[in-house]
Amino acid sequence: MRSSIILASVLGALTVLAAPTSPSLNLNSALPGQAETVTEYFNMLAQKVQEGRSMAVAPVCDLSKAKMAIAPTPLPVPAEGLKLKHVAIGRGTQNYTCDVTNATAVPAQTGAVATLFNASCVAATYPDLLNMLPKLAMSFNLTEVEQKMGPSNLAISGQHFFTNTTTPFFNLDTTRATLGEAGCTKANATSAPANAPKGQLGEPAVPWLKLVTHVGATGNLQEVYRIETAGGSAPATCKGMPATFEVQYSAQYWFFEGTAA
């Protein structure tokens, strides 16, 4: 069955994903097993279509059913009293600077820029598919996923950027939904698992994070988690690097709202 038919079936039966008009697969990068990753994704998707056909009704996007997998890394759980508001796949770049006069200097991070794609329904209904998406996103060229993330075609739910070198910011207000916006502070960090997906040039995955929002956040946003990262890490030193550079990455972002107990 052709992939377009599979995805169209999912749209009709499961209301999770749209029919694809995918950006190009980057087969020239160093990311191992790209074609296998895409094949695995479509095989899993076909299985979900088959499961959906046997359901009496389509699944409901009930976020209370979504479970964030912060193990095996030791990130603290969300504060008591908070509930999940949104799940997104972020696809963009981690940004760095280098002292070009010192080859042994360590690259300094200056922030990140990413488009956020709405994955809430996928998180609520098919977590195994959700956990494939960061690795899958790394298989497709960044310039073409700024408006779509092939082959899943998740709708854009916001943007991620830094307001200064230490303040990550998330804007989840779009024409589709107004979910809030917030500047954040890093509360906890832990290394990505050893088997985390690498970037397009073989870069290790950036750490997993727990962020807390600043006073003035809208949409009652309180905490943000970056997990299931792929790529994004800088080289160990500045040898051979330009003064500024970007490293492509992808990740899951989980947004929690409410009033902490």
pLDDT at residue 206 tops 60: yes
112, 160 contact by CB (below 8 A): yes
Q: How high is the pLDDT of residue 5?
A: 33
pLDDT at residue 31 tops 90: no
d(CA 253, CA 75): 14
Q: β-strand 208-213 against 221-231: which pairing, if any?
A: antiparallel
Query: Rounded to the nearest 5°, which phi and psi values hold at 172?
Result: -105, 20
Which residues, in sequence order, are CB contacts of 231 under 8 Å at separation 6+? 138, 197, 198, 199, 200, 203, 204, 205, 206, 247, 248, 249, 250
d(CA 44, CA 6): 11
pLDDT at residue 184 tops 90: yes
pLDDT at residue 239 tops 70: yes
Which residues, in sequence order, are CB contacts of 36 under 8 Å at separation 6+? none
Q: How high is the pLDDT of residue 147?
A: 65
d(CA 74, CA 91): 24
pLDDT, average across residues 100-121 = 94
Q: How high is the pLDDT of residue 56?
A: 47
pLDDT, average across residues 133-158 = 76
pLDDT at residue 54 tops 50: no
Q: How high is the pLDDT of residue 43?
A: 63
Provide the β-strand partners of residue 247. Answer: 94
Q: How high is the pLDDT of residue 42?
A: 56
pTM of the model: 0.82
Name which residue leads in pLDDT, 48 or 250. 250
Average pLDDT, the chain: 81
Residues of the chain with pLDDT > 90, as a percent, come to 56
